[in-house]
Amino acid sequence: MNGFGMVLKLGVIILWGMLVSFLLLACQKTETTLDSKSSTLSSQAQLPPEWLQQSDARKGFIAAPTGQVKDASGHVIWDFDAFSFIRGTAPATVNPSLWRQAILNNQIGLFKVTEGIWQLRGFDLANMTLIQGKTGWIVVDALTSEETSAAALTFARQHLGNQKVAALIFTHSHADHFGGALGVVSAQEAQSKKIPIVAPAGFMEEATSENILMGPAMGRRSMYMYGSRLPKSETGLIDNGLGKAVAFGKLGILTPNITVQQEKQEMTLDGVRFVFHNASGSEAPSEFTFYLPDFKAFCGAEIMGHTLHNLYTLRGAKVRDATKWSSYLNDSLIHVQNSEVVFNQHHWPVWGAANIQDFIVKQRDAYQFIHDQTVRKINAGLNASEIAETLQLPKVLDEHLSIRGYYGTVKHNVRAVYQNYMGWFDAHPANLDPLPPVQASEKYVALMGGADKVIAAAKVAMRNGEYRWAAELLKHVVDVSPKNADAKELMAQSFEKLGYGAESSAWRNFYLTGAMELRQGPPEVGISREGLIEMLNQTPIERFLEAMAASLNASKAEGKQLKINLVFSDTRETFVLQVNNSVMRHVKKPIEKDANATLTLTKPFFLKLILGQAGGKDLLLSDQTKIDGSKIDLAMFFSMLDKAPGNFPIVTR
């Protein structure tokens, strides 16, 4: 190339670079112009008439239950009539779009999906599906609690005949799909009758690890997300987007004896042909869908449904991969080519080839759109908050009711994509090491002239309908003066306004539970873990030791060196625990002679220690334990482990 050509090429490159920079800058300047008065109340506008048309939520209806489901002590786990107030026109305290979803999710009972397939809906957050086999029912997903799953199966037998359970399938590793396993079939029956229990690869590890390691924090936040403390009323809990509510009862699990390891895996269960498709790392770390050739039916598990789902769930969890999720939906378009119906483990089915294709395409494109457009704006220089404020689905997607934000939202899914790629830091130096919230609030309140002036400004914001700004102002006052009654009440009112306008059930529940905490304080106790005992019995001991390491109080452990042998007399497992450098580590190995102490115990007693049902005195006196070596050192070790009560305040620190 001659010199002129090289100069010309270099000039083109420079001009192109300048043009790209100019376009990116223009994009950034345009898209960072935010409406300071925007709020979720904008979605309170009258719904288009077609939105109010009857859906397929009642198609195939057979019968509906009434009354209550109670546990062994008489405590109400589920009330079928609790949401009977949800009918007619939306009240002023509920977003009309969410009210419509609440009505549809309130179509509860036993439904026929197609010949040989039924669903039980409204017995818990998720659905239980029954597939007719040669000798009995193949049960797909066991709901959250033993009490509700047993009630669902009993109700089905009343109307369809007293059939046995021929197989049990767990579609994925979230508790609302496996927690009621022991209400479907007992561990003894499953073992003696060799009942197939099928789950995707990695199911047991994922199902148990999340609930053990992060149980207290996630349990506390789940009270907010699912509105478990809210009254079921027009001003409280009306729905959870995916279903009515979560049944907080006895939670168990059964270890699968068949796992689907391959990307595509065919098998026959009780005479029924299944084609499983692994969808790991989408809505759950361990998940699959399946096709039933004999029924021309496809089960989409929870990667599809009648709501936009979460790329990040507000109770706290690992961020989900939007592109992987979208790709599984794209693959499903091939899997469903011969399907006449798609049923999922939440909501109602979709019938007809054209409807099925449209349903999946819209869901696929929604997740891909959120991913791609968030990435585009990240590369234009916007941060997570700016993108969340400006990004909207195109009209053709936004008007499709199956991807409205009744559970997940575009806003917090945008933040999930940002977090997945960029992490918590937005690259602004001022945000690299900011002051902690309370310290920052002290300075903000002082700068604004004191709490009274901030409250006065918040009242003006409330009058102007700027509820988000009012909440932001009052957050600082409540941080500094958590007993300031005026600030707390006004903040509660701002949360109520935001909650009443929210289309997302999760957002509504968060806002209204926050208002409840401001007025009544946090709960006296966290979510009880005693109901988890059956699941904990199936959990590997390593998961508990990991949680113990994460509960080590570093200050108490500083300068300490301890070695404890932990021997389980019933499971014949031995672990060596070592504390050094304020870190606890464990190794599965024979006991070491130089340990400070050796504790021999049974797994049931160990679980009592974990659950707080047994303490130091029990440790010394129980016939299920034996201590060799220094009891003082063993006591010191346990004294260094913090016990998280799970009832910490969230808005009233």
What pLDDT score does 111 carry? 98
Residue 124 reports pLDDT greater than 50: yes
What pLDDT score does 50 carry? 59
What pLDDT score does 421 carry? 97
Closest CA to 79 of 205, 191, 244: 244
**Is residue 586 within a helix (H) or strand (E), and if so which, with residue range?**
strand 583-588
Residue 11 reports pLDDT greater than 50: no
What pLDDT score does 532 carry? 79
Average confidence (pLDDT) over 122-148: 98
Reported in sequence order, the residue ranges of 181-320 that DSSP labels E, i.e. its strands, are 197-200, 258-260, 264-269, 272-278, 288-292, 297-299
All domains in the chain, ordered by first residue:
53-414 (3.60.15.30), 540-639 (3.30.1050.10)
pLDDT, tens digit, for every residue of 439-488?
Answer: 999 999 999 999 999 999 999 999 999 999 999 999 999 999 999 999 99
Residue 9 reports pLDDT greater than 60: no
20: confidence class by pLDDT, cuts 50, 70, 90: very low
Average confidence (pLDDT) over 362-369: 98
* Dihedral over alpha carbons 533, 71, 222, 324 (to 10 degrees): 70
Write out the two tokens for 481.
Answer: 């003066």
Give φ, ψ of 421 to 5 degrees.
-95, -40
d(Cα 230, Cα 237) in Å, to the nearest integer? 6
Closest CA to 177 of 335, 275, 288, 324: 288
pLDDT, tens digit, for every residue of 589-638?
Answer: 999 999 999 999 999 999 988 887 888 788 888 888 999 999 999 999 99
What pLDDT score does 216 carry? 86
H helix runs in 384-522, sequence order: 384-390, 395-398, 410-422, 437-447, 451-463, 467-480, 485-501, 505-520
168: confidence class by pLDDT, cuts 50, 70, 90: very high
pLDDT, tens digit, for every residue of 101-122?
Answer: 999 999 999 999 999 999 999 9
Percent of the chain with pLDDT strictly greater than 90: 82
**Residues 76, 125 contacting (CB under 8 angstroms):** no
What pLDDT score does 31 carry? 36
* Dihedral over alpha carbons 139, 145, 151, 157 (to 10 degrees): 10
Write out the two tokens for 184.
Answer: 């479907």
**Residues 268, 274 contacting (CB under 8 angstroms):** yes
| More confident: 8 or 403 | 403
pLDDT, tens digit, for every residue of 567-596?
Answer: 999 999 999 999 999 999 999 999 999 999
Strands 350-351 and 341-343 come out as antiparallel
User: How many CB atoms are located within 10 Å of the residue 640 CB?
Assistant: 20
Closest CA to 126 of 178, 201, 77: 178
What pLDDT score does 42 carry? 39
One-letter amino acid for residue 372 of the chain = D
What pLDDT score does 27 carry? 39
**Is residue 68 within a helix (H) or strand (E), and if so which, with residue range?**
strand 68-70
What pLDDT score does 536 carry? 87
Q: How far apart are the first and last CA of the chain?
A: 69
pLDDT, tens digit, for every residue of 262-293?
Answer: 999 999 999 999 999 999 999 999 999 999 99
Average confidence (pLDDT) over 342-368: 97
* Dihedral over alpha carbons 298, 302, 305, 310 (to 10 degrees): -160
d(Cα 349, Cα 113) in Å, to the nearest integer? 7
Residue 8 reports pLDDT greater than 80: no
The angle, 0 to 180 degrees and rounded to 10, between the axes of the packed helices 451-463 and 467-480 is 160
Looking at the chain, the number of H-run helices and the number of E-run strands are 23, 21
Q: How high is the mean pLDDT of the chain?
A: 91
d(Cα 425, Cα 340) in Å, to the nearest integer? 47
d(Cα 535, Cα 139) in Å, to the nearest integer? 19
What pLDDT score does 51 carry? 61
- Lowest mean pLDDT, pick from 65-74, 188-197, 618-627: 618-627
What pLDDT score does 87 carry? 93
**Residues 146, 534 contacting (CB under 8 angstroms):** yes
